[in-house]
Amino acid sequence: MPSTPVASLAEAVPRYTSYPTAPHFHPGIDAGSVRGWISALEARNEISLYLHIPYCDRLCWFCACHTKQTRHYAPVATFLRSLHREIATVGTIMRGKGRVRAVHLGGGSPTMLKPEDIVALGAALRDSFGFLDGASLSVEIDPNDMDAGRLDAFAGIGMTRASLGVQDFDPKVQKAINREQSFQATRHVVEAVRARGVKSVNLDLLYGLPHQTLDSVAATVAQALSLHPDRLALFGYAHVPWFKKHQTMIDEAWLPDPAARLAQSQLAARLIVERGYHAVGLDHFARPDDTLAIAASTGIIRRNFQGYTEDQCETLIGLGPSAISRFRQGYAQNIVATGEYEKVVDKGLLATARGIAFSPDDLARGWIIERLMCDFAFSALDLVERFGDVGQKLLLTASRLANGPGALLQLEGDHFVVPIDGRPLVRVVAAKFDKYLQNGTGKHSLAV
């Protein structure tokens, strides 16, 4: 592959946290479908849970998540009553089957919850689901929300990983994205969670933000590294104002162009790796002794809606509005609008709005895409052994991509490998195996 051609940098492709991707979900997958999929779980199955908290006390203009701003707690309290009802409903359908290996609280801002509500939520989960010993609990944290009561509450329900949103420490950048957050406040929360026994701290950084420069990115990375995080995630800002109207508050003239975005990401990655972190997939980094780095080095790293993970659970159950579940049979997404979600779950019903059932072709293409995103390579032998004739047909696509000047793949032994120079564009390579993208009209963010 030629070194990062500008045309490819500007290409808009999915992030591939799933395949098929969410724009291709449809209402043919409904609550009845999901009830059947849940009922098909076996007692020995390990599962993960994702809880989506759809509220923030401020709206960050860069955010593309399903969330809404509120300065009052009453809507949050109402939502939590509905979330408890959904948890109980799903638990009843499961009838004690499955064991929880991992829980992730995301949003929105889970840290907006009052301490007593955090404790009650933890109890509700354990009342409705069986937990494995040593189950992990990761929480997305807005440092501006945190106080001693919330810190104690999250520690009390078993938080094992704190994931802090940083984005950028430069005041000019923060003002442009409506995310003012001091380094001192961030450092205080990192120290506070560690003082409460939390062993793993992750920091989320962004490049491609308004007013960012190479110097400002380098300064933010240096400050982040001074906190000695166990993991860092380095995401490219996804400017999708057609999807999230509040992003129109960001003047596009302030945004770096695709070449500048690539330079920012490469500089940040180099600085992080120079400090001894292992690169994991496209945009994560971890200390060598971290479980994520170990999973990557042993070839068992996975990718889901929270990014790269060592979580091997085949089933992920999403709870809350817009949450997406993954079952052996397919994906299912809850109703996005919080009010509509509440009306449905308060009746004791599942909140499924849409989804997609896997075909054998979906499973094979999804496996290729996940391995490319995680390992920058996949084994032709593994593909055929796992998927038979379907996998054999997809080898023709891989072979075409590995031929000719500027090939997107190289054949090394039985592995199709993304060349090192082309790895920043691995999403472009993955997209060549996405039959839905080739036939669809969905809009996506830049490849880098």
CATH number of the domain to which 283 belongs: 3.80.30.20
The token duo for 418 is 């993304």
The token duo for 322 is 């817009």
Do 374 and 243 share a structural domain?
A: no
Q: What pTM was computed for the model? A: 0.92
Cα–Cα distance, 298 to 59 (Å, whole number): 39
What is the number of other CB atoms lying within 10 angstroms of the CB of residue 241? 14
Asked whether residue 125 is assigned to any structural domain, the reply reads: yes
Bridge partners for 82 per DSSP: none
Cα–Cα distance, 202 to 32 (Å, whole number): 37
Q: Which amino acid is at 331?
A: Y
Element (H, E) at 388: helix 380-401
Q: Are 136 and 161 in contact (CB under 8 A)?
A: yes
Do 418 and 309 share a structural domain?
A: no
**Per-residue pLDDT for the chain (448 aa), expressed as one digit of tens each?**
445 454 455 567 898 999 999 999 999 999 999 999 999 999 999 999 999 999 998 888 777 778 888 989 999 999 999 999 999 999 999 999 999 999 999 998 999 999 999 999 999 999 999 999 999 999 999 999 999 999 999 999 999 999 999 999 999 999 999 899 999 999 999 999 999 999 999 999 999 999 999 999 999 999 999 999 999 999 998 877 876 777 778 888 899 999 999 999 999 999 999 999 999 999 999 999 999 999 999 999 999 988 899 999 999 999 999 999 999 999 999 999 999 999 999 999 999 999 999 999 999 999 999 999 999 999 999 999 999 999 999 999 999 999 978 899 999 999 999 999 999 999 999 999 999 987 655 555 555 6
Q: What's the pLDDT score for residue 7?
A: 47
Asked whether residue 345 is assigned to any structural domain, the reply reads: no
User: What's the CATH code of the domain at 435?
Assistant: 1.10.10.920
Among 324, 350, 381, the domain-final residue is: 324
DSSP labels, 327-353: -SSEEEEE-SSHHHHHHHHTTT---EE
Do 391 and 279 share a structural domain?
A: no
Do 381 and 317 share a structural domain?
A: no
Do 88 and 196 share a structural domain?
A: yes
Q: What's the pLDDT score for residue 1?
A: 44
Exposed / middle / buried, residue 31 (Cβ in 10 Å: 0-12, 13-18, 19+):
middle
Asked whether residue 347 is assigned to any structural domain, the reply reads: no
- In the chain, how many domains are there? 2
Q: What's the pLDDT score for residue 2?
A: 44
Q: What's the pLDDT score for residue 59?
A: 81
Cα–Cα distance, 63 to 378 (Å, whole number): 33
Q: What's the pLDDT score for residue 239?
A: 78
Residue 210: give the domain boundaries. Answer: 17-324
